[in-house]
């Protein structure tokens, strides 16, 4: 019975993984097919390995500038999120008074509000700040949307850390500020990995709000650049669209592979222990 259960378990895992990878394999095959190839001819599971599609897609879609824009927005937003989110979480976790409890519940309640609902008042505010069509303005919007979740994860993780660490640092002459940055902040690496992956992917793939705040083509992020590029062909050049999509996916896959080991530890330590 145990052998049968193991076989059934691993078979199910392999089946689920295979089903998940099928769309990506189809995308990869399409990106490597020659322009004149009909999808039904030959072995549909084997591509032509025509790499010129990637060169043409890179040049015609301007995906390179879009990747740079998305990277600037993502890194700036993550810097704001981690810096201010960790400081807010430390204050909430270590000083459990009524004010901090109320602030924490405000963060939790704001997690239930979809970011797209705030687009109209945000757009008015962005006009007053002259932040429309600026990368820093889009980064601020993304950071504001991601801060509640970040504070939730960091607060739970900091609560799981023993208070004796802080007390020992204060006895040695550290202030609360230095205690946080020198003692507690380095211990937040697992939680940071979870925050970076979950929030980073959402910021990198943000389209709904980027349409409003990044209207100039030179400021488009990856989803916008792909949308404009796909609309030019209207499904007529699948090989170029697929190649461009593969190029856009590579940075996300790379980031996930780097941080995947710390993702589950950060989520469990931050959410369950808190």
Comparing 38 with 188, the larger pLDDT belongs to 188
In this predicted model, what pLDDT tens digit does every residue of 57-68 receive, in sequence order? 888 888 889 999
Whether 110 maps to a domain, the answer reads: yes
Structural domain containing residue 34:
1-50
92 pLDDT above the threshold of 90: yes
Q: Is the full-model pTM beyond 0.75? A: yes
Same domain, 213 and 100: yes
- Please indicate, yes or no, whether residues 46 and 71 belong to a single structural domain of this protein: no
* CATH code, 198: 1.10.3720.10
Identify the pLDDT of residue 22: 87
Q: Are 243 and 54 in contact (CB under 8 A)?
A: yes
Task: Kindly state whether residues 23 and 147 are assigned to the same domain.
Answer: no
| Out of 47-51, 82-86, 211-215, 222-226, least confident range | 47-51
| Predicted pLDDT at 34 | 82
* Position 219 in a domain: yes
Residue 57 lies in a domain: no
Q: Is 75 within a domain?
A: yes
Torsion sign (Cα): 265, 266, 267, 271: positive
Helix (H) or strand (E) holding 138: helix 135-159
Do 249 and 158 lie in a common domain? yes
Do 113 and 243 reside in the same domain of the chain?
yes
Q: How confident is the model at residue 208 (pLDDT cuts 50, 70, 90)?
A: confident
Q: Are residues 213 and 257 in the same domain?
A: yes
Residue-level pLDDT at 105:
92
pLDDT score at 196: 86
Q: Do residues 208 and 223 touch, judged by C-beta distance below 8 A?
A: no
Per-residue pLDDT tens digits for 114-161: 777 788 888 898 999 999 999 999 999 999 989 999 999 899 889 888
Residues 73, 129, single domain; the answer is yes
pLDDT category, 209, cuts 50, 70, 90?
A: confident
Same domain, 12 and 84: no
pLDDT of residue 111: 84
Over range 82-108, report the average pLDDT.
91
Q: Is residue 30 part of a domain?
A: yes
pLDDT band per the 50, 70, 90 thresholds, residue 260: low
* pLDDT of the residue at 102: 92
pLDDT at 236 over 50: yes
Residue 272 pLDDT exceeds 50: no
| Neighbouring residues of 47: CB distance < 8 A, sequence distance ≥ 6 | 28, 29, 30, 31, 32, 33
Q: Does residue 43 register a pLDDT over 70? A: no
d(CA 74, CA 93): 27
Residues 24-34: tens digit of each pLDDT: 888 888 888 88
**pLDDT (0 to 100) of residue 73:** 95
Report the chain's mean pLDDT, rounded to a whole number. Answer: 84
Asked if residue 58 belongs to a domain, the reply is no
Domain count, the chain: 2
Same-domain pairing of 45 and 158: no
Same domain? For 94 and 176 the reply is yes
Domain presence at residue 74: yes
Strands (E), the chain: none
Looking at the fold, whether 88 and 110 belong to one and the same domain comes out as: yes
242 lies in some domain: yes
Of 63-72, 95-104, 209-218, 250-259, which range is least confident? 250-259
User: Are residues 45 and 72 located together in one domain of the fold?
Assistant: no
């Amino acid at each position: 019975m145990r052998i049968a259960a193991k076989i059934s378990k691993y078979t199910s895992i392999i089946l689920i993984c295979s089903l998940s990878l099928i769309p990506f394999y189809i995308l990869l095959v399409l990106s490597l097919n020659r322009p004149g190839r009909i999808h039904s001819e030959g072995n549909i599971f084997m591509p032509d390995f025509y790499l010129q599609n990637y060169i043409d897609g890179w040049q015609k879609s301007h995906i390179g500038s879009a990747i740079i824009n998305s990277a600037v927005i993502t890194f700036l937003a993550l810097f704001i999120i981690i810096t201010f989110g960790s400081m807010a979480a430390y204050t909430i976790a270590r000083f459990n008074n009524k004010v901090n409890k109320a602030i924490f519940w405000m963060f939790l309640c704001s997690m239930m509000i979809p970011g797209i609902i705030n687009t109209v008042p945000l757009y008015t505010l962005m006009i007053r700040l002259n932040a429309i069509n600026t990368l820093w303005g889009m980064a601020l919007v993304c950071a504001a949307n991601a801060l509640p979740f970040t504070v939730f994860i960091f607060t739970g993780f900091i609560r799981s850390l023993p208070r004796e660490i802080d007390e020992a640092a204060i006895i040695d002459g550290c202030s609360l500020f230095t205690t946080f940055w020198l003692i507690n902040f380095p211990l937040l690496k697992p939680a940071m990995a979870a925050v970076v992956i979950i929030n980073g992917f959402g910021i990198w793939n943000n389209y709904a709000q980027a349409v409003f705040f990044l209207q100039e083509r030179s400021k488009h992020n990856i989803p916008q650049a792909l949308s404009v590029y796909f609309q030019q062909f209207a499904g007529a050049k699948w090989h170029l669209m697929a190649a461009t999509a593969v190029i856009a996916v590579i940075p996300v896959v790379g980031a996930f592979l780097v941080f995947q080991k710390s993702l589950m530890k950060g989520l469990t330590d931050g959410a369950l222990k808190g």
